[in-house]
């Protein structure tokens, strides 16, 4: 009987050792120490034993009971401790973890390429100059040899402000005059900036758009110089060789004036639907600065000459990125903006 008790003790002890959950320990406790547990039953059956061994078996059984109870308690508190630690681990905050990155914005496609354009011209010796977006009649029209009866002054073309003399500039050319008034040639500038027209909006027109103006004044500057500068600009901007051609064109502030075409980017000059089968795309207006404009800015046309050009920056950016609607630039549509 004592031998059986010993085996029972070993078996119970082993089970406690193997137990990994509180539920298992509860089961073991019930199995051995519960009302119908093995040890309890042995105690109940003591009366059936011979008197000689009764005391000894009783004593031994009670000792095993106490021992097992202590073992189980020890294991229970051990498991509870582990659980607590696990819980704490879950709640623990690592203050050294880098914070989640905030959503950063990026430059607008017009700004990205405006900077690119400035970089190209700056490298050719042109300074970037800015001027006011609200102009008066003198700088926007008169000084640029645009007479009073010129259709560009019509209320349908120009956004006049309440004060009769003020308007939202229709081109960046007024900055030419402002700059020449204060600086002696030789000079080379580009003027990027917003311009405004009272246009009905469609895929290629908006009431607000960007222009890049260029001006070079020196003692001997010719149309050939202009062609070289602009061809080099296109080559760098589109990152491929581009052919440029000059056609006669009329602008009041230049004489002679040119329309500038460049070879079609899509077909390389062979003719396609983009260039309407001509192989050329109209890019800008330019010309040799009109003597009246030089005079208006306080320069003597007998001593100085030069070229000026103006192009739509939105158009350039649209060609570079293959964007088909100018209105996307100011739409604030993130699906559009995120592509750049």
Catalytic residue among 57, 175, 211, 315: 211
Residue nearest to Zn ion (CB): 264
Shortest distance (Å) from residue 264 CB to Zn ion: 3
335 is catalytic: no
Q: Report the phi/psi class of residue 89: left, alpha or beta, with left for phi > 0 and alpha for psi in -120 to 50.
A: alpha
Shortest distance (Å) from residue 279 CB to Zn ion: 6
211 is catalytic: yes
In angstroms, the Cα distances linking 199 to 139, 162, 166, 207, 317 are 21, 19, 18, 5, 20
Q: Are strands 187-196 and 127-128 parallel, antiparallel or unpaired?
A: parallel
Alpha-carbon span 260 to 316, nearest angstrom: 13
Alpha-carbon span 19 to 82, nearest angstrom: 14
With CB under 5 A as the contact rule, the residue among 28, 113, 275, 319 that binds Zn ion is 275
User: Which x/- pattern over 235-264 shows residues binding Zn ion (rule: CB under 5 A)?
Assistant: -----------------------------x
Alpha-carbon span 261 to 276, nearest angstrom: 13
Q: Are strands 187-196 and 166-168 parallel, antiparallel or unpaired?
A: unpaired
156 is catalytic: yes
Collapsed DSSP state (helix, strand, coil) of residue 2:
helix
Alpha-carbon span 313 to 97, nearest angstrom: 45
Q: Are strands 280-289 and 305-312 parallel, antiparallel or unpaired?
A: antiparallel
Binding residues for Zn ion, how many (CB under 5 A)? 6
Shortest distance (Å) from residue 270 CB to Zn ion: 7
Catalytic residue among 156, 205, 224, 245: 156
Q: Which residues pair with 67 in a beta bridge?
A: none
Q: Which is nearer to Zn ion, 112 or 267 (CB)?
A: 267
Give the single-character DSSP code of 326. G
Instruction: Confirm if 266 and 246 have CB atoms less than 8 A apart.
Output: no
266 contributes a contact to Zn ion by CB under 5 A: yes
With CB under 5 A as the contact rule, the residue among 272, 325, 330, 340 that binds Zn ion is 272
Shortest distance (Å) from residue 319 CB to Zn ion: 11
44 is catalytic: no
Alpha-carbon span 297 to 215, nearest angstrom: 13
Q: Which is nearer to Zn ion, 177 or 260 (CB)?
A: 260
Shortest distance (Å) from residue 241 CB to Zn ion: 15
In angstroms, the Cα distances linking 322 to 237, 260, 326 are 14, 20, 11
Shortest distance (Å) from residue 265 CB to Zn ion: 7
171 is catalytic: yes
Q: Which is nearer to Zn ion, 28 or 264 (CB)?
A: 264
Q: Which is nearer to Zn ion, 177 or 319 (CB)?
A: 319
Catalytic residue among 12, 175, 289, 308: 308
254 is catalytic: yes
Stretch that binds Zn ion, among 82-90, 254-262, 275-283, 315-323 (CB under 5 A): 275-283
Q: Which is nearer to Zn ion, 76 or 267 (CB)?
A: 267
Alpha-carbon span 99 to 121, nearest angstrom: 42
With CB under 5 A as the contact rule, the residue among 159, 223, 267, 337 that binds Zn ion is 267
Instruction: Please return the burial class of 207, using the count of CB atoms within 10 Å of its CB with bins 0-12, 13-18 and 19+.
Output: middle
Q: Which is nearer to Zn ion, 71 or 261 (CB)?
A: 261
Catalog residues that contact Zn ion under the rule CB under 5 A.
264, 266-267, 272, 274-275
Catalytic residues: 156, 171, 197, 211, 254, 308
């Amino acid at each position: 009987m004592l031998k059986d008790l010993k085996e029972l003790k070993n078996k119970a002890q082993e089970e406690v050792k193997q137990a990994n959950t509180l539920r298992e320990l509860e089961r073991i406790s019930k199995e051995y120490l519960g009302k119908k547990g093995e040890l309890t039953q042995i105690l109940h059956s003591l009366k059936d034993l011979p008197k000689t061994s009764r005391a000894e078996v009783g004593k031994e059984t009670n000792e095993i009971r106490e021992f097992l109870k202590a073992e189980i308690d020890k294991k229970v508190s051990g498991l509870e401790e582990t659980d607590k630690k696990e819980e704490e681990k879950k709640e623990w905050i690592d203050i050294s973890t880098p914070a989640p990155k905030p959503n950063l914005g990026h430059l607008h496609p017009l700004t990205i390429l405006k900077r690119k354009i400035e970089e190209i011209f700056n490298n050719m010796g042109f300074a970037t100059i800015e001027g006011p977006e609200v102009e008066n009649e003198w700088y926007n029209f008169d000084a640029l040899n645009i007479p009073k009866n010129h259709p560009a002054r019509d209320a349908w073309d120009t956004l006049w402000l309440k004060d009769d003399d003020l308007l939202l500039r229709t081109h960046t050319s007024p900055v030419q005059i402002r700059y020449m008034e204060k600086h002696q040639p030789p000079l080379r500038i580009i003027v990027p900036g917003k311009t405004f027209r009272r246009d009905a909006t469609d895929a290629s027109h908006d009431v607000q758009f960007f222009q890049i103006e260029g001006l070079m004044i020196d003692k001997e500057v010719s149309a050939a110089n202009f062609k070289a500068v602009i061809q080099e600009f296109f080559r760098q901007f589109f990152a491929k060789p581009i052919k440029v051609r000059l056609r006669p064109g009329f602008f009041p502030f230049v004489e002679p004036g040119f329309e500038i075409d460049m070879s079609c980017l899509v077909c390389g000059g062979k003719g396609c639907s983009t260039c309407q089968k001509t192989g050329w795309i109209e890019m800008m207006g330019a010309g040799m600065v009109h003597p009246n404009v030089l005079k208006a800015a306080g320069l003597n046309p007998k001593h100085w000459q030069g070229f000026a050009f103006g192009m739509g920056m939105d158009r350039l950016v649209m060609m570079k990125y293959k964007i088909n609607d100018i209105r996307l630039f100011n739409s604030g549509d993130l699906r559009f903006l995120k592509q750049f």
